[in-house]
Amino acid sequence: MLPWEAALAGRIDRHVISSEFLRDNVLGDPADRPLWVYTPPGYDSSDGRWPTVYVIQGYTGHLAMWENRMPFRQPFTETADAVFASGDVPGCIVAYVDAWTAYGGSQFVDSPGTGRYHSYLCDEVVSWVDASYRTIADRESRGIMGKSSGGFGAMITPMMRPDLFGALATHAGDTLYELCYIHDFGPAVRALRDYDADIMAWWDDFRSRPSFTKDGDGTLLGLLGCAAAFSARDDGTPELPFDPRTGMIRPDEWQRWLDWDPVRMAAKYADALRSMRGIWIDAGTRDDYFLDLGATAFRDELAKIGVAEDRVYFELFSATHAAIDYRYPMSLAWLAQRLAR
């Protein structure tokens, strides 16, 4: 394999769509968003219709990053294409969705702290894709997948919108919040010592200098973004779920986070989850945020609420949270074979 580029068997169209839901969002982020749509080999030469898989990104991800080239790896745009190039796996349309915010991400929810990214995804992007491409415009033929925050989005979006999505894949998706998030509260409090315990003071500093040049930058950014998504005030101000001087849990704000924990949401959205054609769950056994445990806990919840075992693919593999992009084509192929066509 040559590293610089690769020809695709299918085709990627690069669009910009204009979102009403994102207009005038509190962060002043653009309402015009890039949207890439991949059509599989054979799309242009036929008038058939295809299932669609929506692909969403992890925290700090934005659409252009899908073309980043890492050493001895190919971008997902190419490995996804390779899934369909051989003809062994039935083709899908793949929609790459952007939900970036100034804080680095949106968690794919509607929040006064960031914007209406859930609505944008469900009620604008999906219909735009259906209108613009020969999709099979039906939940049974629509899947969603992602990693990390994207895996979280891939869990919650079909729970809330089973009318739209009939399958999902989560790679190291955020869940089991006591383990994946509390883990960062202590380091965050320590990092805030330099900012008089004021995360917005840190944020101002962060934007004024080269990013990620101070130790706590990554941790604080992630918590700020989650607070903006999960526990913002009505005016958009993010409220941390802990006292920034002591790390003591603030029960009300923390409960708002927990209400978004897929492990906890599963029981409430049991019907939606039972209706899924396929649920792929995986994570690395040494995931930095213990999302291997989150994955296991989510799988257990699915069993508890009666999701049929043969609908679920579950695997833990030897890895940390990083560099697991080689897993994505596996779940994409699995979804492609599960979606109705």
Site for a second copy in 82-121 (CB under 8 A): 98, 100, 104
| Using rule CB under 8 A, residue 72 touches a second copy | yes
Q: Per CB under 8 A, does 67 bind a second copy?
A: yes
| Contact with a second copy (CB under 8 A) among 18, 46, 127, 246 | 246
Beta bridge partners of 135: 50
Q: Does 250 bind a second copy (CB under 8 A)?
A: no
Q: Which token pair is 27?
A: 């962060």
182 lies in the binding site for a second copy (CB under 8 A): yes
Query: DSSP assignment, residue 18?
Result: E
- Give the binding range for a second copy (CB under 8 A) out of 66-74, 117-125, 135-143, 306-314: 66-74
Looking at the Cβ atoms of 11 and 245, the one nearer to a second copy is 245
Q: Could you tell me the two tokens for 279?
A: 């649920």
Binding to a second copy by residue 341, rule CB under 8 A? no
Nearer residue to a second copy within complex by CB, 43 or 290: 290
| Residue-wise DSSP of 99-115 | ---TTS--TTSEETTTE
Indicate the burial class of 249 (C-beta count within 10 angstroms; 0-12, 13-18, 19 or more).
middle
For residues 26 and 228, give the distance between their C-alpha atoms in angstroms, rounded to a whole number.
10
Q: Which is nearer to a second copy, 188 or 339 (CB)?
A: 188
Name which of residues 282 to 321 contact a second copy (CB under 8 A): 285-286, 290, 292-294, 296-297, 300, 318-319
Residue number, 164 or 191, with CB nearest to a second copy: 191
Check: CB of residue 193 under 8 Å from CB of residue 199.
no
Binding-site size, a second copy (CB under 8 A):
56
Distance CA 165, CA 161 (A): 6
Between CA 164 and CA 142 the distance in angstroms is 7
What count of residues does the chain have?
341
Stretch 255-284 residues interacting with a second copy (CB under 8 A)? 263
Q: Write out the binding residues for a second copy, residues 3-62 only, by CB under 8 A.
A: 3-5, 30, 34, 60-62
208: tokens are 């004024």
Q: Is 243 in the site for a second copy (CB under 8 A)?
A: yes
CA distance 115 to 21: 8
| Selection from 155, 177, 151 nearest residue 241 by Cα | 177
To the nearest whole angstrom, how small is the minimum distance from the Cβ of residue 1 to a second copy?
9
> What does the block give as tokens for 273?
């989850």
Residues that bind a second copy (CB under 8 A): 2-5, 30, 34, 60-65, 67-73, 98, 100, 104, 176, 178-179, 182-183, 185-186, 189-190, 206, 210-213, 243, 245-249, 263, 285-286, 290, 292-294, 296-297, 300, 318-319, 323, 326
